Structure 1
Amino acid sequence: MPTGASLQPQGLPILLCEPSPESRAQLMQLLAEDGYRVTPAETVEQLFNRNNWSDYFLIILEHDLPDGKIEDVLPRLKQLAPAAELLVITSRTRIENMIIAFRTGVADYFVKPIDPDLFRSSIKRILQNQNVSSELLQTQAQLKAIVDTAIEAVITINRSGLIQSFNPAAEKMFGYQAHEILNQNISLLTPDPIRVVHDQYITRYLETGKASIIGSRRELMARRRDGSLFPIEISVTDLPQFGLFAGIIGDISERKQAEQKQEDLTRAVAVAAQQERRQLADILHDHLQQVLVGVRIHLDIAKNDTTDDFIKQTLVRADELLNQGIEITRSLTAELNPVVLHEEGLITALEWLSHNMRERYNLNVTLDLDHRADPQNDTTKVALYECIRELLFNVVKHSETTEARVCMSLLPENKIEIVVSDNGVGFDTQQLDHQISDASGIGLSNIEFRLSLIKGKFRLQSSHGEGTVARIIASLNPIETTSMLAET
């Protein structure tokens, strides 16, 4: 069909090959009345004596031609004018001829004498279908142009997981040429553990409608042609009308590297801060406390040597204040750097913390600690200890109870679970963000920050009048210095 053709037939060209003068005249008059421009031919030789095949949207062909068989003519016409529809007219009434014609791709088949209304309706339908096909092809061409120039990789697969399209960005990202990977299973682009079960994901989705990735953006690992793995962000859409899944994929290697650098820097800052606290604790313990103890000794000597009651009372009061100062520095030293945590481990440190919370804050802390879950990595010990202490401080400040419980247990895959709970007044977790941002908030942002340094997870459950349960999950093994991206 000529470019820009519409449903209006005015001027649209039709090629008519009809050896019968009467039938040819009737059809040309009928078509001319409807505004079509008709080019007539009487024989096969005249039919093929032209080079403007792309002009015609329709070729009308008599079944019986004087110098050729329609079985030979139709394939050649399809090759010369692939965009044109074919319509056969005949005087024969044998059903076999009609079946053969339709099998070769004929749009319609009319037996003479031709009903003008049915003939017009058939051509109108053919024209409408060609307009729809033309618009569809144009839309497909536009979409292909967009996909081909997209920065992100775009891949489509069928219901069997076989790749149907692979745009240039995907070629660059994965190292395959499109012709190499079309009709290959999409699992070829996934890591080995996922490759084995990938088809099961598709089958499960088609059978149950439950999707782990379709309809959302996910971070996964992908495999290049050379076997190297890299992190991607993928968004998958189901296109059931076409029987396809479409995936838009971005390489997030640079982003992950930046995140890793930021994470390493954050961890380094936290470790440096911990070292500063330990140094400050050492100064308090080794220097300031020794000085204060020395002052106390001299106060005792002066107190025993004087006979003046006023001076003695003053020295006694100074001695009391000095004792308070020594206790404060000892407590501060223990909070900054509990020596027992580094020398004896987390469990012993929690036992000391439980005693300290009872003595200083009247909070009775019940401990249920599995010795198998005692971590050996120093960074992990410090992070977990500080989180538990922060949670117990929250109980003191907000729960309006004097009872709390700390449980530590070993989970499969060398994971530690720590649960800090109370039976206090509780709170509405819907207001959690407000409480964290409030200057008098419950300090959960500090806990989440500390756990992020050891890749730990934190969950909080609470409601008014039902108490609070804080749950921490962390690894028993030392944290790795390099990040691994896993499917979530």
Structure 2
Amino acid sequence: MAEPSDQNCSTEGREQQLEARIAELEAKLEESEEHTRAILNTAVDGIITIDEHGLIEQFNKAAEQIFGYRAEEVIGENVKILMPSPYREEHDGYIERYLRTGEARIIGIGREVEGQRKDGSVFPMELGVGEMNFGGETKFTGFVHDISDRRELEERVRRSERMEALGQLAGGIAHDFNNVLTIVNSYTYTSMAHDDLAPELEHYLSKIKDAAERGARLTRQLLAFSPEQIGEPRVLDLNEVIREIKGLARSIIEEDIEFEVRLESDLPRVEVDPGQIEQVIMNLIVNARDAMPRGGRLNIRTHKAYLSPALRRSGYHPELSPGDYVLLIVEDTGVGMDEETRSHIFEPFFTTKPTGKGTGLGLATVYGIVQRYGGQICVESEPGEGSAFYIYFPLAESEAATWVTERVAQTRRESSGGETILLVEDEEDVREPLKLALEGRGYSVIEAKSGKNAIDVIDAYEGQIDLVLTDVIMPELSGVELVDHLAKEYPSMQSILVSGYSGEVLQRKEISPQRVRVAKPYDIDELASLVRDMLDEGRAS
């Protein structure tokens, strides 16, 4: 047998060294790519890379959250699927023109444009585009920042400034008009005091007096919208105010409207003027009645509400400070309102009613009174879907410390009930620790990884399920759809909706943020306290 030559050994050695070097470089390249992916996927802004034909090559996690697509759904697709008209139709021509002439409209400049999500909704965004060249191939990287929240905040500030200016104007007009009415009333009463007044003249003066009183009622409504309106606030139970005017409310509602009042017991007290709060409630009732000319359902409810810092950070009622509130809800099944109407309903003299049927001061008055006592009012409504007004009143100063102490104590208590909870969450890493935490408090927990899976689990389960705790946004069947289905099939089953999405995202998906009781990230003790309260409420009812 021939011995291997020194030349062969040398060649093999060089090949082995070369292979080792290649393997080392490949490992470093893979490590570098992994490092790059990590940077891309931890960026807070969307980062999208396309080739010179507009085809998407990279799509980071933030872009997935902004546009609603998974990366694998869009890679290889033309980037114009992320654009509404007219940008979509113009995009390919823009790239071709830029590569041919160098004329840049956005590359290297950046500007505000509009993007289109997977669900078809359009949103404002800041877009900056950079150009790269790899091996003779041109690539473009877009940096996307969703500015929906900023635009919403700007609009809220503009609306607040407009309402404040209107309030000051209304207050000034009412003050001057009151002086005029005072003069009219004074001379009218003086004239009517004469003993030898002719019947015909007395009739005319009586009409003048009635007209002046109507004018005075209008100015009182204007002043209620003005921040200078004087009230006589006192500490009271909102439930008592509602009970006192329930009969009056029923008398002004037609018989074809179902009227239901549900008041939460042991409601903390608020510091308000009782007469003005009666005015708030009655104005909302009249507004609801007028929205249901063919009948419907009107509900008034009260609740204790706690806005946690985490819930506020997630975008729920950013105008409210974290803390405890008394929540008044007035909801109807009337004609509803579109977005344009909703944006103006609290402005003085704005009305959708026919000429002569309304002054446009009812909801403006409500807004002014609620603001005066440190509260907030918001409305949810869609055409044909009815309306719901949510009014948050801060607790009276004498009540606040007591309720904070009690709430903290409640969040620390542990359950000894042993009820059964169905936990629905599509993320296992979220579902597992919550299951362990609830089991640690004595509950029996059944798991489901989706809305459809939850229905199958319930159908197969032979025992009683007392409460379903579900994520809101899940594939195929959302948590809201699941809860609505279960409410029909199992009326006694309680439910809690949990979400990590902002209120703006939920509204875009046609989900009412008011239905979400818990925001991620949540405090386990607070969540456990809410679970206990819901179970106790279900048992009491």
TM range (shorter): 0.3 to 0.5
Structure 2 length-normalised TM: 0.30
Structure 1 length-normalised TM: 0.33
